[in-house]
Structure 1
Amino acid sequence: MSTEAAFGRVGCSLLTFRAWDRLEDALDRARAHGFDRVDLGIVPGHCDHVDPLALGDAEREAIATAIAARGLAVSSVNLHPGDLVSDDLALVDRRIRATMRLARRIGARVLTLPPGPLVPPEQWEETAGIVAARIRGYLDLAEQAGLTLSLEAPHAHTLAADVAQAARLFERVADPRITCTLDTSHVQRGNRAPLVDAPARLGVPIAHVHLRDTLRGEVTVTPGKGDCDYLPLIEALLRDGYAGDFNFELENEPSSRAIVERELGYAREHVRRILHGEPLPLESRVRRQGWFRALDTAAWTARHPREFVIAHPRLKAVLRPPVRFARHVRANWVPYRQVKYRAGWHAGWQVGRMASEIPPRPMAALPGADLAEIRVALLGCGYTGRFEHGPGFLRLPGVKVAGVCDVRPERAELLASRLGCPSFTDAARLLREVRPTLVVNCTREWTHRDTTLMCFDAGADVFCEKIMAESLASGEDMVRAAREKGRVLGVNYNWRFLPGIQRIRALRESGELGELRMLRALSSAGVHHHVLDLVRFLGGRIRAVSGAIQDEPGTRGLERWNAYAHEMLYIPSTYCVATLETEEGVGASLVSSGLLDPEGLLLTLDAVFDQGCVSLSGILDNDAIGTLTASTRKRVDLRMRHGDAPAGFALSFQRSIEAFYVAYRRSGEIPVTGADALELMRVEHALVRSSETGQRIVL
């Protein structure tokens, strides 16, 4: 087949039209652009044209009729069923089976699945084995439905992030029926090898092709404006007898419908010209010139220097020492204007931007507490361990900080020198040699489970940073182990101890303004989990949630959070809009977004009572005090208590640590237990489920 004739096999994914709410509207737009082949995208929370779990025979028939009435054929159904390595596969399984029934009815040829979640390198083999086994389990079902089962691999930020990993994953599936849906942008992303080389390296048949483009690692580029050279790939596939289609899958950053239409028209015309051997427009020819690419790259680098350095590991390694030195000079020697609260706001100058650190002043004695000395150890010597928990526990009466541990020896040694204790790089050795009574766990969230269980086995209690774990299964393991071994598990939700939050809580408990009726919060994404806890702290236990989530971690610089299970939101990149109801009759509306700069807006919160509203605003990265105001006919005392201001977030850590320690030494009720933290994780999971299903979730 000639490349000119192959243009008749160029179609469009309905993911391109995800901004159109109705499937029928998306189908109409595909037809209006001249396509007669489409991909049906089913990505809960991202593209919700179809919910396979809500379809009966009549609904499937209606969809098939709508597609046929427009003269369209379905090349592939592109399904994101959920986490393929989750211990709870019931929802994933039901979604896959329901989609197979739909795909069969609408005459789709291919069912495309994702390759599984991104994991640390040391977990790759184990996870790949799990995914491969589960994919093999669906091959017979696909065959019975007349479908070709395909994995969209490689795909950035997944188990098969590049061509080499994708080939290894296909080897582990080890079944001749498995095929590949080739996404050109993810193949070409960060790879200077020709696009045409990829099919042979993957080692499995290509069942379908998504035409996308990439530039400087970004994978949402309009075809024809990036690095992908489609013609050699298409020619090679046709020579090898490729029988599938070539469908555009444009997923630009959230933009107007007019922009989507314009970019799709550009992409279609670009591919039409190259397949028909026609000269490209002047704009396209200029884009392909080396001098233009060089100037464009230089301009982009000037606008995004940090992203450029991150994309070049060797350059990053060279620049790290001078950058660290420059940060040290800026933090300690460069004057800056600081605003403080002393019975009113006052401006002044200070040299060096010092970290918000818990002061070394000893805490007052605890009357009536058993102050026999206990040994405390600290795992994780990063910012929180170094500036908050280390000095925070050192100042407590009856505490001996007996050791610190970090995988980076320089961090452990630095903190150990400040606390006057030995340093370790191996947690097992620390536990064996130090034998602590209590361990403060400041490691990364995805290591909390293993390190906490290790501490329990060594006979130590644990005070853990939030959130408690990266998945529900890990959190459940931690709470179960604490209960079975009779150990204390506390979690540090320090935002409960912000002065403004404490004042709102006191107003509720006093009844001064009547019953609390409603909470409303707007926050930056990084504190989304804190705000969920504040709803529980101020309004009571959460019993029902509804949520809508737009999450694009790959395009918002949040790739480092991909270690979290898909069931957990943790940091919403674009937005999370949630409605919560508590058992005490308080309604809460929350909006959080990664688009909000924490230096300009970290949190605003309104507490609506029977007799007025109290608002906390101005909580910023460098200001944990903010402004507390009231809109009420009653005279309300909102003055801060002695010692509240001025303060950074070290104040909330200090008071959270003190509250935990007092309760721990007196065998009292800990402010936030492991069971409380697990309940908050379930709320977060319920928000994800609500966004996926469009339903209100009762806990």
Structure 2
Amino acid sequence: MKKYRVAVIGCGSIARFRHLLEYQANPNVEIVAVCDIVPERVKETAEQYGAEAFTDYQALLEQVKPDIVSVCLPNYLHAPVSIAALEAGAHVLCEKPMATSYEEGLAMIEAAKVNDRQLMIAHNQRFVASHQKAKELIEAGELGKIYSFRTAFGHGGPEGWSIDGKESWFFKKDEAFIGAMGDLGVHKSDVIRYVLGEEFTEVAAMVETNAKDDSNVDDNAVCLLKSESGVIGTLTASWAYNTNEDNSTVIYGEKGTLRLEDDPKYSLIANYTDGRKVNYELGQIQSNDAGGQTSSHVVDHFVNAIQNDRDPLITGEEGLKSLNIILAALESSETGKRVKIN
């Protein structure tokens, strides 16, 4: 079977602890090139993986012509670099959020279509076992009608995770565009769409910058969402949970309640109105603290989709729907009004 030639553009923490390790573990790919604007960083990474080092992504695309490209860059570069890679004939796995605007997202989708390449957005929470099991239970009618939910993702901030610490692009609006909402909130907008099988039509939000010094992006946000069928719930994203990370979701239905990643032992707890309680031990959700010791399954899924010429689970279209919720939340906070989601 053909080995796909992979290039990783951006050698920061997400590349080091996720993409590169997972490509290295996949027998169907070979890491042939890496790129970063910091010469020492890219040289070290290239030596580690036996790859060619570049500081210019356009030179990489022209000279290497990779089959697959991972885009692991600051948010403002996701769209232009992804489009360039698609136009160069590569399949693209892009980190979230996929873009900084609806128009950029559409351009990425169009580039994939025109060049007949796969585009996947790395929303890894769809592959978490508790999220997949909850989706299965809801689809089977175990909860009956869904009424409400609350989903949260918060930790102490990216300075403890990013390769550049407090100097990271995460805190710079011209590079990040959005803060905690792009880092964490978009994960939750994607996973709640996935688990409930619902699209959201309206949002009201309060988005603040109140926890980080020397930052001009949001670090605390609370959003109220309404779905097409009338389900309402809250989505919270924060870089101010300084003691413990929270990555939980609770779903309230006619026949019961599901608690996802809300208990230290059981990754999913189902409480039913008839008195039944089912505890599921499905393994812990992957967090930044895991240091890449467990797979996110994103790379394996993407490579498999390419091999079998089928759409990945999180296409560009799916990534854009999840981004649109966040864009609408930002608009709501700025205008003080409820906003219809595009």
Asked if Structure 1 and Structure 2 have the same fold, meaning a TM-score greater than 0.5 normalized by the shorter chain, the answer is yes
Q: How does 1:377-526 map to 2 (within 5 A)?
A: 377-524=7-154, 525=180, 526=183
Rounded to whole Å, the distance in 2 between the matches of 1:573 and 1:534 is 20
The question of 1:551 aligning with 2:208 is answered yes
1:660 to 302, 312, 323: 302
**CA contact 2:225–2:234 (8 Å) conserved in 1:** yes
Rounded to whole Å, the distance in 1 between the matches of 2:121 and 2:248 is 24
Rounded to whole Å, the distance in 1 between the matches of 2:230 and 2:309 is 31
The question of 1:583 aligning with 2:218 is answered no
The question of 1:606 aligning with 2:275 is answered no
Rounded to whole Å, the distance in 1 between the matches of 2:113 and 2:249 is 35
The question of 1:539 aligning with 2:196 is answered yes
Rounded to whole Å, the distance in 2 between the matches of 1:507 and 1:690 is 33
Counterpart of 1:536, as a letter, is R
Find the counterpart in structure 1 of residue 318 from structure 2.
676
Helix, strand or coil at the partner of 1:397: coil
**CA contact 1:504–1:607 (8 Å) conserved in 2:** no
Helix, strand or coil at the partner of 2:296: helix
Q: Which runs of 5+ in 1 are unaligned?
A: 1-370, 562-571
**CA contact 2:11–2:35 (8 Å) conserved in 1:** yes
Deviation at 1:654, TM superposition (A): 2.9
Deviation at 1:548, TM superposition (A): 2.6
Rounded to whole Å, the distance in 2 between the matches of 1:630 and 1:611 is 10
1:694 to 333, 337, 340: 337
**CA contact 1:514–1:609 (8 Å) conserved in 2:** yes
Change (3 A) 1:596 1:647: closer
**CA contact 1:503–1:638 (8 Å) conserved in 2:** no
Deviation at 1:383, TM superposition (A): 0.8
Rounded to whole Å, the distance in 2 between the matches of 1:618 and 1:543 is 24
Deviation at 1:647, TM superposition (A): 5.8
Change (3 A) 1:651 1:674: farther
Counterpart of 1:659, as a letter, is H
Rounded to whole Å, the distance in 1 between the matches of 2:207 and 2:133 is 33
Rounded to whole Å, the distance in 2 between the matches of 1:635 and 1:673 is 35
Rounded to whole Å, the distance in 1 between the matches of 2:294 and 2:187 is 12
Deviation at 1:508, TM superposition (A): 1.8
Give a deviation string over 1:531-555, Cα, whole Å, max 9, x none: 11111111224231221314236x7
Give a deviation string over 1:565-599, Cα, whole Å, max 9, x none: xxxxxxx424x3322233355332223334322x4
Deviation at 1:492, TM superposition (A): 0.3
Deviation at 1:521, TM superposition (A): 1.8
1:615 to 220, 241, 259: 259
Find the counterpart in structure 1 of residue 159 from structure 2.
none
Counterpart of 1:390, as a letter, is L
Give a deviation string over 1:153-203, Cα, whole Å, max 9, x none: xxxxxxxxxxxxxxxxxxxxxxxxxxxxxxxxxxxxxxxxxxxxxxxxxxx
**CA contact 1:540–1:584 (8 Å) conserved in 2:** no
Rounded to whole Å, the distance in 2 between the matches of 1:550 and 1:689 is 10
Helix, strand or coil at the partner of 2:79: helix
Rounded to whole Å, the distance in 1 between the matches of 2:237 and 2:16 is 28
Find the counterpart in structure 2 of residue 261 from structure 1.
none
Deviation at 1:379, TM superposition (A): 0.4
Rounded to whole Å, the distance in 2 between the matches of 1:671 and 1:527 is 19
Change (3 A) 1:631 1:665: same
**CA contact 1:494–1:653 (8 Å) conserved in 2:** no
Rounded to whole Å, the distance in 2 between the matches of 1:602 and 1:695 is 26
Change (3 A) 1:645 1:695: closer
Counterpart of 1:381, as a letter, is C
**CA contact 1:527–1:602 (8 Å) conserved in 2:** no
Helix, strand or coil at the partner of 1:529: helix
Identical columns (%): 27
Aligned residue pairs: how many? 309
Deviation at 1:478, TM superposition (A): 1.6
Rounded to whole Å, the distance in 1 between the matches of 2:327 and 2:65 is 36
Q: Which runs of 5+ in 2 are unaligned?
A: 155-179
Rounded to whole Å, the distance in 1 between the matches of 2:20 and 2:270 is 37
**CA contact 1:381–1:406 (8 Å) conserved in 2:** yes
Give a deviation string over 1:497-516, Cα, whole Å, max 9, x none: 22322222232233334344
Counting helix residues as a fraction of each chain, which structure ranks higher?
1
Change (3 A) 1:437 1:560: farther
Give a deviation string over 1:636-658, Cα, whole Å, max 9, x none: 35132xxx359655477531222
Helix, strand or coil at the partner of 1:547: strand
Larger RCO (CA under 8 A, 6+ residues apart): 2
**CA contact 2:324–2:341 (8 Å) conserved in 1:** no
Counterpart of 1:697, as a letter, is K
Helix, strand or coil at the partner of 2:338: coil
Counterpart of 2:6, as a letter, is V
Change (3 A) 1:617 1:457: closer
Rounded to whole Å, the distance in 1 between the matches of 2:198 and 2:277 is 30
Deviation at 1:402, TM superposition (A): 1.1
Q: Which of the pair has more CA radius of gyration?
A: 1
Give a deviation string over 1:110-143, Cα, whole Å, max 9, x none: xxxxxxxxxxxxxxxxxxxxxxxxxxxxxxxxxx
Change (3 A) 1:665 1:584: farther
Deviation at 1:493, TM superposition (A): 0.3
Counterpart of 2:248, as a letter, is T
Rounded to whole Å, the distance in 2 between the matches of 1:652 and 1:533 is 21
Deviation at 1:558, TM superposition (A): 6.3
Deviation at 1:693, TM superposition (A): 4.6
Deviation at 1:635, TM superposition (A): 4.6
Rounded to whole Å, the distance in 2 between the matches of 1:656 and 1:646 is 14
Rounded to whole Å, the distance in 2 between the matches of 1:421 and 1:694 is 50
**CA contact 1:494–1:652 (8 Å) conserved in 2:** no
The question of 1:628 aligning with 2:268 is answered yes
Q: How does 1:184-203 map to 2 (within 5 A)?
A: none
Deviation at 1:627, TM superposition (A): 4.3
Change (3 A) 1:651 1:467: farther
Deviation at 1:528, TM superposition (A): 1.4
Q: How does 1:116-265 map to 2 (within 5 A)?
A: none
**CA contact 1:690–1:697 (8 Å) conserved in 2:** no
